[in-house]
Each structure stands twice: as structure tokens, then as C-alpha cells.
Amino acid sequence: MESLQQFYINGQWVPTRHNASHDIINPATEEPLGQLSLAGPEDVEAAIAAASAAFADFSALPLETRLDYLTRILEGYQARLPDMARAISQEMGAPITLASKVQAPMGLAHLKTTLEVARQFPFESQVGNSIIRREAAGVCALITPWNWPMNQVMCKVAPALAAGCTLVLKPSEFAPLSAHLLAEIIHEAGLPAGVFNMLYGDGAEIGPLLSSDPRIDLVSLTGSTRAGVSVSQQAAPTVKRVSLELGGKSANILLPGCDLQKAVTHGVRAMMNNTGQSCNAPSRMLVPAEQLEEAEKIAAAVCEGIQVGDPEDAGTVMGPIANQRQYQRVQSLIEQGIKEGARLVAGGPGQPDGIRRGYFARPTVFSGANNHMTIAREEIFGPVLTMIPYRDLDEAVAIANDSIYGLSGYVYGDPQQARSVAERLRTGTVHINGASPDLQAAFGGYKQSGIGREWGHFGLEEFLETQSLLL
């Protein structure tokens, strides 16, 4: 049983000053893994004060010194990679294979990418008769979710430290084990006291305290659009910078003439990866109307072959939904899809056959849907795919863009035609023919999917201010 009763503030582990706690639940068994202390206003005050006091000295350090600290963090992370994978699998239910090969290594990959980018970044340049300096944005509040714990944490922490910022990290209370392990790694790397601070807390209570404090210069949040609106409102009175990576309802356009077997198979598997709990998941599959029946058969067969079960089993492809609250939301939206008249091709409400405990959902595919249905409009954040027929490419593009979101998109088919269609999509990223994520490319969204960009060069820029020296 894990007992996380302390926060990491000002270079040391300190007990909470607040009498509130949260059970850490294994989503595969619904059994407690331990208990987590939740922060209150006094804890937030201590963390912000520490980060604020440390900023002047840390931001003044030479770049190479800051990167030396990052290198030590990278080495510590690499040494504890198996521990990190196990922590992620236990806390949010990722199959151990996924946690070991993708989830945990993503944090390591962001560290490596940040080091490469920072060593080549033009922190000082000349324009006309002036010197342009890029310097640390200041004291940062980083608020991260539970679905890809180390991916989301490290794509913020690594560039913030490289830029010379000090920070307060509030990871999700549903993913505390991996964050605690990271804090141990950072402590062992010897960062100066106050540079990195971490506390747990309920987002609705702690988020406004961090966002509204005048000593915080920048808030970077990954979460729901509702959370992003709240952070923006709380940050506005002090006119601080806000970077938001929010929800998505990404369209996956299968072009006429594409290899339907490959396209549908890839689309379904990409949707069910991480139990559908990815903000950029291809949750709307747009299929030529004349090929819809064939696509449905392929999708059903793919779902039939997805092994759902114990995350510790090496053969498991899809684990549980990460927590009870999200499980109930997914079940409710599946029921809503049935109520609104969409046709079930695979899955449906309830748990998979033979499973009686844990927050396991069935890989579910709806078809015969239209873009006005709830399952086509709302981010479900679970293993639920909605297939929508289209008559021509103009209609497909219109359907894809008819969303409040614009985080990601997918196009599958002839490369030249796919590139042409991709350029018409109002979305921050487009995967063409199954292309994998690129940590050097910008990640972020249009519309209500967010503000700003993360990853690589673009992620480092988020944590920098621009100063002009006029000579």
C-alpha cells in the first residue's frame, strides 16, 4: 500500500498542512493501492513562495548548467524506467506492454528532445540594429492529467527547466505514483531548492489558487476544455500567460480508393489504444457511403480481436478506464448513442464478457451516425468509435471541421490527395496514412482544443519571453 502523505517543496519532502485525502484506486481491481494527501491553500502558498524565491538565481544560470541538471534527470529516469512503467500501469490501468514500450518512454523521449532542441536554440540573435534575447518566462504552474501521465508532465517540465523557469507541478490525483517517482528522480539530480515543487490536490480547488496568484507568470494546463476555461478566467485579472492543451474530437477521413482493410484496421486500433483515453484519438471515422457496410464488417472483426483484461498480462491490448468517474461517463454516452439511433457494430454498454470487476469497457463502434449526434460532438474519452458516411470529399471536410475542437486529424489514402485534404482541415495536427507522432513537431490545437503549442522547439518557446535590446 502506497502512502503519499508528503509534497515536494523547496527541495525537500514536507507534510501537508491540509486535512484532506484521496484513495489511490487500481482501476483494474477497484481495490485501493494507498492513500494520497491533498493540498490546501497553505501548501500552495509554500510551493509558490519557494518557486518565486528560486527564480532569480536559477534563471541566471548558464544554459549548459541547466542542461546538466536535465541530463542528470534523464539518467535517473532511464535507470528507473521499469519502475515508472509499473507505476503508470497500476495507477491508470495501461497494459504493462503499453506502459513499458510507450507510456513511460514518452517522458524519456521528451527529455532527450528538449536537450537536443535547447542546445541549438537561438536564445540570442540580431535583428536590424537590435539584439533579441529569449529568456525564462518566470514562475510556472503546470497542471497535468492522468491519461498519459509522463508524456504530459515531461513535455512541460523539461522545456520549463531548460528555459530557466521555476515551477509548481500539480499532477492528477488519479496518477500520483508516477509523479512521486519523478519527484524522487529530480531530487536525486540535485536541482537547487525551490526550482521544482510538486503537490497533489483537487483540480477545482487548487487550479484557481495557482492560476490567480500574481507570482505565477505562466500557467500550462493539459485537461478538459472546461478546465481550460476556468484557468483562463482565473488568470485574466493578473494578465499572465496561459498555455492550454485541451479536448478533441478528431476526424479520420478514409479516402475513396484507399486500402479499406488497412485503413479501418489502423483507425480502430488507434482509437482503442490507451482505452480511447487520448485527446487526439481518431474518434470519428468518415467513410465513403458506398463502402460503409464493408468498413463496418472490418471494424467489428478488429474489435473482436482486441484482448481486454488484466494490465499485468503481457497479452492484454486494452486495459480498464482509468477511474470510476470516467467509466460512468463513457457508459452514459454509449447509452446516449443507442438512444439517439446510432447502430452498434461492436461492443455496447457494460463490461466485456467474463469480467465482473474493474472499470473495463467494451471496444465499441457505432455506425450510421450523423455529425449532430452526441457521440459525434462530445469527447467521450473512452474506447468508442463513431463511423459517419460521406458522399464526396467536400462533405467529408465539412463534417471533419464541424466541431468545436481542432486538436488532431487523420487522412488515409493516396498520398497526394491525402496531403491536399489534410491542408483543408482546421486542426493542429494531421496524421497522413498512419504517421506516428513526431516529438519535434508542434502539438496543440485550434478552436476549443487549446492555445499554444508543445513539443520540441515549439514547446521550449512557450516558456520563453522575448526582450529587445535596442543598440
pLDDT at residue 1, as a whole number: 67
- Separation CA 148–CA 91 (nearest Å): 11
Give the 3-state secondary structure of residue 103. helix
Instruction: At 469, list the grid cell.
Output: 535590446
Domain locations in the chain as residue ranges: 2-246+449-470, 251-438
**Nearest CA to 198 among 236, 160, 172?**
172
**Chain Cα centroid distance, residue 250:** 14
Per residue in 128-181, pLDDT (tens digit) is: 999 999 999 999 999 999 999 999 999 999 999 999 999 999 999 999 999 999
Give the 3-state secondary structure of residue 79. helix
**CA 46 → CA 166, 198, 253, 314, distances in Å?**
14, 11, 49, 43
Question: What is the signed CA dihedral for 134, 135, 138, 140, rounded to 10 degrees?
Answer: 60
pTM for this entry: 0.96
**% of the chain at pLDDT higher than 70:** 100
The answer to whether 98 touches 92, Cβ cutoff 8 Å, is: no
- Separation CA 114–CA 163 (nearest Å): 10
How far apart are the two ends of the chain, measured CA to CA in Å? 62
- Separation CA 22–CA 17 (nearest Å): 15
Q: Which of 245, 454, 461, 462 is catalytic?
A: 245
pLDDT at residue 2, as a whole number: 78
Instruction: At 310, list the grid cell.
Output: 488484466
Neighbours of 430 (CB within 10 A): 21
What topology is assigned to 2-246+449-470 in CATH?
Aldehyde Dehydrogenase; Chain A, domain 1 (3.40.605)
CATH 3.40.309.10 fits 251-438, yes or no: yes
Dihedral over Cα of 298, 304, 309, 315: its sign: negative
Residues of the chain with pLDDT under 70: 1
Whether 312 is catalytic = no
**Nearest CA to 352 among 304, 390, 315?**
304
CA angle 318, 323, 328 (to 5 degrees): 95
pLDDT at residue 3, as a whole number: 84
pLDDT at residue 268, as a whole number: 98
Beta strands in 383-444 (DSSP E): 384-390, 405-406, 408-412, 429-432
**CA 45 → CA 11, 179, 182, 384, distances in Å?**
15, 20, 22, 41
DSSP string, 342-354: PEEEE--SSPPTT
Residue 8: left if φ>0, alpha if ψ -120 to 50, beta else—which one? Answer: beta
